[in-house]
Amino acid sequence: MDSQVRPIRKAVFPVAGLGTRFLPATKAMPKEMLTVVDRPVIQMVVDEAREAGIEHLIFVTGRNKGVIEDHFDKQFELEKTLAARGKSAELALLEADLPGAGQASFTRQQEPLGLGHAVWCARALVGDEPFALLLPDMLIKSEPGCLARMMEVYNRLGGNVVAVDEVPREQVSRYGIVAVGEPAGDRAFRVTGMVEKPHPDEAPSNLFLVGRYILQPEIFGILETQSPGAGGEIQLTDAMLTLMARADFHGYRLEGQLFDCGDKIGFLSANVAYALDRDDIGPGFRAALADILRSGGHALD
């Protein structure tokens, strides 16, 4: 790693969204606590961050999100009961997932003013150092994880790094799209521009931002005075475009499978993919899935 590249110790998780696409399930439970097999989505994204070496987890929450804070805290009654019943495996699992004392912080986004505003709400906890940003809606199934691979790009090139993936051109108007510059090593390239939700005829590429970022702290000063953009919200893409005028941005073309768990089809697909990959339940689930498909008159591919 270049001696001038500062290490990434902190990660921000925006978890203030209402999850209206999953009502009524999310009426009383945060969408981030919906489970893929037996792990909450937010836990899986935190796992990715911790694998990449993140030491401090920063959650930007909203009203009715207290259960997320509880999830990352000790549960003395449960742990005492598990210990008394000799359930050592379950107890060890809970302990492995628990952040250490002082390694998780929570702050509020009082109004739904956009992703850029959510990131700005974390400014005091991040301080004057580069940080990772992970959107919990997006699960990326890869080994090692996406953020760990982005760290390799960052350690080599510094600056800011964003993960991207391909999308059919007719769907680019749903995403933030990047403009591609010269290659910068394996699966990496210089980003020369960004645009939020462009018309297909005006999109600079079909590579979209997948919700994984490594950003320099100068982004906070830009967000503080950022005017609302698309949808009347403070757009992170607009702030990154401003930062790009004075700082390097590189893209990383992700490897692995991407699941948009903010979408019902994406969420169900993630459950199937992760369940089939499990040694303990994969074979049984595959057989059950085949039975379901056969009963519906379909064959399992």
In sequence order, what DSSP letters do the residues of 171-192 get, joined into one string? GGGGSEEEEEEEE-STTEEEEE
Cβ 58 vs Cβ 126: under 8 Å: yes
Confidence class of residue 38 from pLDDT cuts 50, 70 and 90?
very high
Sign of the CA dihedral running 77, 29, 51, 127: negative
**Secondary structure of residue 251 in the 3-state scheme:** strand
The mean pLDDT of the chain is 91
User: pTM value?
Assistant: 0.91
pLDDT: which is higher, 94 or 161:
161
* Mean pLDDT in residue range 58-71: 91
* Mean pLDDT in residue range 145-150: 97
In order, the DSSP letters of 23-70 are TTTTSSS-GGG-EETTEEHHHHHHHHHHHTT--EEEEEE-TT-HHHHH
Please name which of 210, 261, 266 lies closest in space to residue 42, comparing C-alpha atoms: 261
pLDDT tens sequence across 191-233: 999 988 889 998 999 999 999 999 999 999 999 988 777 667 7
pLDDT tens sequence across 15-26: 988 888 888 988
| CATH number corresponding to 10-262 | 3.90.550.10
**Secondary structure of residue 52 in the 3-state scheme:** coil
Confidence class of residue 297 from pLDDT cuts 50, 70 and 90?
low
Flag whether pLDDT at 1 surpasses 50: no
> From CA 156, how far away is CA 134, in angstroms rounded?
21
Confidence class of residue 2 from pLDDT cuts 50, 70 and 90?
very low
Please name which of 66, 28, 58, 76 lies closest in space to residue 133, comparing C-alpha atoms: 58
* For the ranges 97-101, 196-200, 275-279, the one whose mean pLDDT is highest: 275-279
Domain segments of the chain as ranges: 10-262
Flag whether pLDDT at 186 surpasses 90: no
